Amino acid sequence: MAPTIAILPEPTDVLAAAVADGGGSVGPLADADGVVWLDSGPLPDELPGRVRWVQLPAAGVERWVGSLPDGPVVTSMAGAFAQPVAEHTLGLVLAGLHRIADSARAREWDDQLRERTRSIEGRTVAIVGAGGIGRALMAMLAPLGAHVIAVTRRGNPVDGAQETLPADRTGEARARADVVVLAAPATPGAPPLIGADELERMPDGAWLVNVGRGTLVDTDALVRALEAGRLGGAALDVTEPEPLPDGHPLWSRPDVLITPHVATAPEAELRHAAERIRANVERFARGEELLGVVDRDAGY
């Protein structure tokens, strides 16, 4: 029997079609076996007892993780937007090494700026978080000749990485990297992955690229490190706080490139979200393991 899926707060034609393509039917919450939640706010206070699955609309689930319903399996969009986010990340990496932000602001030929540009070929890129985004980025880096160090929780080998290190050796990867990419999830209440000590141990001229969550980086420590002039710079699609307040020093620094959390274009986001929903409805109908299951203890 086809599962009934409630799309809340309001269904859209695209996502209703995704549910149908997955073998389900869209219906009211009272009759639902599963719920696709589209809002950034909290879930409904009470879900019917027959609801066995809840699909959240984002890859990061820190806003919901403390109030998830006890019974249903909860899934996120983790990995669903990997391709477009990896594209954006590659753009930030290349823009940093090639000093695109500085060059675009220049009003005269600057030989010193040219001397500071770098090719990615032969550079070491440490990717902290080798989930969907990290793996997609590795595939894009391969033909460019970069040496990739993947950092994962346990350090198991990752296709596309020349080396893989466990999380407790993140410092080793960071100390060798020309570019450090943060593509890891944020755990509620955890300290930043990158603070003053970590920035101090990055090589001279290294770039920090963050497409994970703003809370992964101590913003004040980053400002101090950049002011010290040792880092190459930072390229950020996420910040803490988000957005940064008017007048914040990161806005005006020539060695900082900030994009306003736009790594996934709306058309790509909708397309990939619909595909994840279709795939999970199909798996749900067959009783198979769902994609993006949230680890309640880990917080992502």
The reply to whether 213 belongs to the active site is: yes
The reply to whether 272 belongs to the active site is: no
Q: Would you say the C-alpha torsion 238, 239, 241, 242 has a positive or negative sign?
A: negative
Q: Which of 62, 163, 172, 242 is catalytic?
A: 242
Q: Which of 174, 213, 272, 276 is catalytic?
A: 213
Q: Residue-wise over 91-127: b if at least 16 C-beta within 10 A, else e?
A: bbbbbbbebbbbeeeeeeeeeeeeeeebebeebbbbb
SS3 annotation, the chain: CCCEEEEECCCCHHHHHHHHHCCCEECCHHHCCEEEECCCCCCCCCCCCCCCEEECCCCCCCCCHHHCCCCCEEECCCCCCHHHHHHHHHHHHHHHHCCHHHHHHCCCCCHHHHHHCCCCCCCEEEEECCCHHHHHHHHHHHHHCCEEEEEECCCCCCCCCCEEEEHHHHHHHHHHCCEEEECCCCCCCCCCCECHHHHHCCCCCCEEEECCCHHHECHHHHHHHHHCCCCCEEEECCCCCCCCCCCCHHHHCCCEEECCCCCCCHHHHHHHHHHHHHHHHHHHHHCCCCCCECCCCCCC
Q: Which of 98, 118, 253, 261 is catalytic?
A: 261
Question: From CA 98, how far away is CA 105, in angstroms rounded?
Answer: 13
The reply to whether 121 belongs to the active site is: no
Question: From CA 274, how far away is CA 271, in angstroms rounded?
Answer: 5
Active site residues: 213, 242, 261
